[in-house]
Amino acid sequence: MRAMPRKGYSDDYETVVEMDEEGREKQVVVYRGDYFEIELDEEGISRFRRNCLLLLAAIVVLHISGGFVVNQGMFQFYVALPYVSAFFPLIYMAAGVLRLPKEKRKYRRDEIGLSFDRMKTTSIILLIFLGIGVLGEIAFILIVSGAARSAPEYLYLALEALAAAAVYFLILLQRRIHVQVCTEK
């Protein structure tokens, strides 16, 4: 059984009937949509991919490490809920980063959509969730914990703030990449 393109990209594909060497009809899916190119050379693409992978690894390590810190703020829903919710965009962002191209060529719409576009969208959502979690932890430290401020609260806050900063750097890194429709096919 063959994997079919996602519904959003199905307009770019066409089913064509071909004859095989034994004279039987065979249906083949052919891409008929636009091709896209990136304004980077071969070395720039590999450098961009490497930097994105390193930032992704840093984000994952920092975010998961924050969950291992035993702090009272994680017992509050306004800290714990954004922390847990941040894993969803983190997983989708990781899928987009891992699908980044390794070589320079003309890319199909689904290749761009499942790598660059997915990474751009989910990194913004991830930054929002991490920002809400950091603000929740700050509110907990200032309002709820009062005089009982402890080192684990600040450690958790530092790890999550560093993860948010790494996501921000990933967004800045993505802004330099321009995907445009290729004029010739």
Dump pLDDT digits (tens) for 64-121: 999 999 888 888 999 999 999 999 999 999 999 999 998 888 888 888 888 999 999 9
Least confident piece of the model among 19-28, 40-49, 171-180: 19-28
Residue 22 and residue 75 in one domain:
no
Residue 10 and residue 53 in one domain:
no
Q: Is 133's pLDDT higher than 70?
A: yes
Sheet containing strand 35-38, edge to edge, reads 107-108, 35-38, 179-181
Residue 5 and residue 64 in one domain:
no
| Of the candidates 109, 124, 115, 121, the residue with the CA atom closest to the CA atom of residue 180 | 109
Residue 174: the pLDDT is 92
Mean pLDDT along residues 39-57: 93
Q: Is 11's pLDDT higher than 80?
A: no
Tell me the pTM.
Answer: 0.85
Report the alpha-carbon distance of residue 117 to residue 96 in Å, rounded.
Answer: 8
Residue 94 and residue 120 in one domain:
yes
Q: Is 2's pLDDT higher than 50?
A: no
Q: Is 6's pLDDT higher than 70?
A: no
Residue 29 and residue 39 in one domain:
no
Residue 62 and residue 97 in one domain:
yes
Residue 29 lies in domain: 1-33
Residue 5 and residue 65 in one domain:
no
Residue 57: the pLDDT is 97
Residue 25 and residue 66 in one domain:
no
- The structural domain count of the chain equals 2
Residue 19 and residue 95 in one domain:
no
